[in-house]
Amino acid sequence: GSSVTVAANATVTSTVSYRILSTAWQPIGPASINAGGLPGAGKLQAFAVNNFNPAIMYAGGGPGPPAYGSPNTEAGIYKTTNGGSIWLHSDTGLADPAVNVLWVDQSNPSTILAGTNSAGIFQSIDGGGHWNLTGALGATAAFLDVGGAVYAGTAQGIARSTDSGTSWSLIQSTP
């Protein structure tokens, strides 16, 4: 809490106190259902954090295994702006709610990509408020940011975007 100023060539002794952080996770939603005695609310498959403001996070998923009766209504993208205390749906325009992967452009955190289970790649340029399909490449399972380009593993092959996901070119087709 307090700061210390030290003059050049002076010696200072300081005591640092640490507090123990809780490592217990608590369910905060969306509200679970009871399916066969087991709680379930879909399946979390994707998670991304805004590195410049870690209180802003995105989570995405889809229905869980059918054996657990997880509902499609809990699929989609959720966003928190307060470190996870409250999560809200953030998927207007997301035509495929089964989300496999999320990516935040750390140089422009308003730009987010979502790779979905069927349709392909959706982009939001307003922090997850609205989504547009920018890469109709089928199931998309991975994003990788290398040297200013974003690469995506899709059902059609490896795609590359040099404009943060606004457009995509297929650089390696699947056999």
| 10-19, 46-55, 82-91, 166-175: the lowest-pLDDT one | 10-19
Whose structure tokens read 């990509």? 113
Lowest pLDDT segment from 10-14, 51-55, 75-79: 10-14
What's the whole-number mean pLDDT along residues 111-122?
Answer: 96
Query: Residue 113 to residues 13, 50, 143, 155: CA-CA distances in angstroms?
Result: 48, 13, 9, 16
Average pLDDT, the chain: 84
Dihedral sign from CA coordinates of 66, 86, 97, 52: negative
Kindly state the DSSP code that residue 130 receives in the 8-state scheme.
B
3-state secondary structure 32-46: CEEECCEEECCEEEE
CA distances from 121 to 30, 92, 105 (A): 24, 14, 14
